[in-house]
Amino acid sequence: MYFIPLSFLLIASAYGSGEFSVLHHAPSLVFKGHDALKDTTVKEVYAAALGFSTHHFSNWRGMYLTNPFEVAKAIVTVYVDGVSDIGQQKGHNYPLSTNEGTARIYKSLERRITEHFPETPTNLVKIRLSNGLEDVNKYPIFNNLMSGDSKQLGHKFLKLDVEEDRQFLKDCTILREIASRVAGSSIKVDAVPDVFWFEVGSFHPLVDFYGENSSQVLEAKQILNEVILEVNSAFNKLYDGYVLVSVITSDASHTRKGRSLLQSKSDNTDTNDKTKYNLASYYSKDYPVIFNIILWFGIMMLFSLIAISLAIGNMDPGRDSIIYRMTSTRMKKDN
């Protein structure tokens, strides 16, 4: 069994909290435990799931790869902003610390795929549902997709005459239509991995408006979970099970305002910990290179200075140096 090394990181209070939920994965992937991870580690999880090498060594033991030749053919992620979790019961759930921003996760996947397959077309889809069908229809596979009727979602507490409610129901309806399109489409599945990234940004204003424990928000979580399960089923069928479907939630938008205030306290805590436990300072991966450049350059400069000083000191003023001869003549005239 091959172990994919990934990092185990503690959740700092100054960072936003969230959850990383794996709803479905390829047969060669095994998810275990409930160890916390950081959003910077999620990039490595996705890369390993697609069969790419990881860029950072780590000790996170949440995922194992049993067969490197049967990796996932696609990554499907639903990102929910403004809430730490949506009560997802299916799959494996891991506490998530968000401090870098999820936008970099998609960018990292996009960059790795284009670097490995620079001339092969693939599906790199990133849709912010709050932008409506404008974001959806720019992708050929979802061309001419129409928004359905939000009444089919069966909402009771959410009202269409409230802007926050209407926007959330609209997002869920579009996501549901995307799942229907995928289930009945003929998207080409090949050796080049695909990425589908769906952002639900309407949950944040909903939580701000009603409160996280309100009946409206609880109903919204239920509706969103049902729609996500439809997305999971559609992509699972399309890729014949060789797909990683996950949900990322983050309340970083609520905690970002307090980070600047907590930063000084966090810095003091880190300093006290280093003093108390005699911890070594952190050095970047470029430190050995910079250290060697400065070291050998300094040694060369030292020996060069010594050689030049010895050469000048052993010069014959009357024969070797026009500077000394002229200096010596000028000194005689002065006398």
- What are the pLDDT digits (tens) for 288-310? 888 899 999 999 999 999 999 98
DSSP summary character for residue 73: S
Length of the chain: 335
Residues 246 and 325 in one domain: no
pLDDT at 5: 44
- Structure pTM? 0.71
Q: CB–CB of 83/212 below 8 Å?
A: yes
pLDDT in tens, 248-260: 998 876 655 444 4
How large is the average pLDDT for residues 103-112?
Answer: 90
Residue appearing with tokens 């000191």: 313
Query: How far apart are alpha carbons 119 and 144 in whole angstroms?
Result: 27
Examine residue 245 and state whether it is found in any structural domain, yes or no. yes
Same domain, 267 and 291: no
The predicted structure's pLDDT at residue 149: 78
Domain contains 281:
no
What average pLDDT score do residues 95-113 get? 85
Read off the pLDDT of each residue in 215-244 and give the average, rounded to a whole number.
94
Whether residues 40 and 104 fall in one domain:
yes
User: Is the residue at 151 inside a domain?
Assistant: yes
Q: Are residues 264 and 236 in the same domain?
A: yes
| One domain for residues 185 and 136 | yes
On whether both 248 and 307 belong to a single domain, the answer is no
Residue 294 in any domain: the answer is yes
pLDDT at residue 173 tops 90: yes
**For the chain, where are the alpha helices, taking DSSP H only?**
39-49, 103-116, 133-136, 163-183, 203-210, 215-238, 252-277, 287-313, 322-334
Confidence class for position 143, pLDDT limits 50, 70, 90: confident
Q: Are 13 and 137 within one domain?
A: yes
Question: Is 66 in the same domain as 161?
Answer: yes
Whether 254 is covered by a domain: the verdict is yes
Query: pLDDT category, 320, cuts 50, 70, 90?
Result: low
In our burial notation (b when 16+ CB lie closer than 10 A, e otherwise), range 99-108 reads bbebeebbeb
Among residues 221, 236, 271, which one ends one of the domains?
271
Indicate the SS3 state at residue 4. coil
Mean pLDDT of 161-187: 90
What residues make up the domain containing 118? 2-271
Q: Is the pLDDT of residue 11 over 50?
A: no
- In terms of domains, do 316 and 208 share one? no
175 shares a domain with 81: yes
Residue 278 lies in a domain: no
Does the structure show a pLDDT above 80 at 7?
no
Instruction: Flag whether 282 is in a domain.
Output: no
State the pLDDT at residue 278. Answer: 58
Q: Is 115 contained in some domain?
A: yes
Q: CA 142, CA 186: separation in Å to the nearest integer?
A: 11
What's the structural domain count of the chain? Answer: 2
Average pLDDT over residues 76-83: 92
pLDDT of residue 10: 35
